[in-house]
C-alpha cells in the first residue's frame, strides 16, 4: 500500500533527512541496506500520452506536485 501512494496521489509530500541524500542512483545500489529493502519507488514526474490523431494529453498519471520537507538530521521516525 505504501508504494502505491506514490502513484495514485496528485500531490506528494516527502519527509527527507538531508544526511541520507546521495549523489546519484548508482550510490543507492551500493548501500548495504538497499539489498534488504522490500521495495523502492523512483518517481520521475507525471507522464503524457498522445492518440493516433496526435492529440497530446499531459499529466495522465503520476504525481502533479512534489513538496520536500527537511527533517532534522538523525531525527527518529
Domain extent listing, the chain: 2-70
Query: What does DSSP say about strands 11-16 and 65-70: parallel, antiparallel, or unpaired?
Result: parallel
Prediction pTM value:
0.51
- Kindly report, residue by residue over 16-59, the tens digit of the pLDDT: 888 888 898 889 889 888 888 887 766 666 667 787 888 877 76
d(CA 19, CA 32): 16
Amino acid at each position: 500500500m505504501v508504494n502505491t501512494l506514490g502513484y495514485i496521489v496528485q500531490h506528494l509530500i516527502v519527509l527527507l533527512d538531508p544526511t541520507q541524500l546521495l549523489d546519484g542512483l548508482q550510490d543507492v545500489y551500493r548501500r548495504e541496506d538497499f539489498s534488504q529493502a522490500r521495495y523502492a519507488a523512483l518517481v520521475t514526474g507525471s507522464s503524457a500520452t498522445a492518440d493516433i490523431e496526435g492529440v497530446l494529453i499531459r499529466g495522465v498519471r503520476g504525481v502533479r506536485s512534489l513538496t520536500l520537507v527537511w527533517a532534522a538530521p538523525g531525527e527518529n521516525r
